[in-house]
Amino acid sequence: MATTVFTIANQKGGVGKTTTAVNLAAALADLKIHTLLIDLDPQANATSAIGVEKQEGRSLYGPLRGEGSAMEMITPTSYEHLALIPSEEDLAAAEIELSQMENYLMKLRAVLQPLRDSGGYRAIIIDCPPALGMLSMNSLAAADYLLITLQCEYMALEGLGQILRNVERLKTANINAALELGGVVMTMFDVRTNLSRQVVDEVKQHLPEKIFSTVIPRTVRLSEAPSFGKTIFDYDKLSPGATAYRHLAKEVTERFSLK
């Protein structure tokens, strides 16, 4: 089966992007779907959240500069069907250096092509920095689908329009004509507030076909898990957050025919 590449991007920080990348990847792996998580954020939060130590020279910085391959950077995780390409601080330099290269928006696509061709992974999930800079734009150029995490508050809706406009620009410029919005994941849903429900309803009106029916609750356990280097399933497998990400993984599996 072909490899499907998802990028989880949002120019706003603190919207559950890395939490979703890590826990969705782990939940897919739990469904025995061979998954590769790529940490493209120089802060390396996805790397530490999945319990992998940062190692010098193991990020995609070298391959993006034409030194080495993505295949050499793959690191195992504690999950049988989940591998990781970690991040480290040197990726921050790639933000600057990429803009000075030829075909600078297509670098990641070229780096990931051998991974696609290998057929070793059914799903590749890319966790991006909280900004629409060079790394995030490269991930959009390399992906089949964009998954947007959207916090259940009104300011989040403004950012949604911005990232969708960038998707259209990439398509119009033929940089990635096949890129599609795969779906919107509503995060940090607070059952106690009307605001959370109103924001979900508004996104449903704008993008009824794209919003996932699973909403991710705002819970302390989801916030705590990364500091212990654990996914929510290892940290508290019976928590509402773990249940939500299991449901989301099933939705993603069905929507994109990953099995």
Q: Could you tell me the pTM of the whole model?
A: 0.95
What is the extent of the structural domain holding 138?
4-255
The number of folded domains in the chain is 1
Which residue, 120, 119, 124, 121, is CA-closest to 108? Answer: 124
Q: Which amino acid is at 103?
A: N
Which residue, 1, 85, 82, is CA-closest to 35? Answer: 82
- From residue 245, give the alpha-carbon distance in Å to each of 21, 64, 76, 167: 10, 31, 21, 26
Residue count (the chain): 259
- At 195 the pLDDT is 84
3-state secondary structure of 62: helix
Weakly modelled stretches of the chain, pLDDT under 50: none
- At 43 the pLDDT is 93
- At 126 the pLDDT is 98
- At 163 the pLDDT is 85
CATH code for the domain of 206: 3.40.50.300
Could you tell me the two tokens for 226? 């990364």
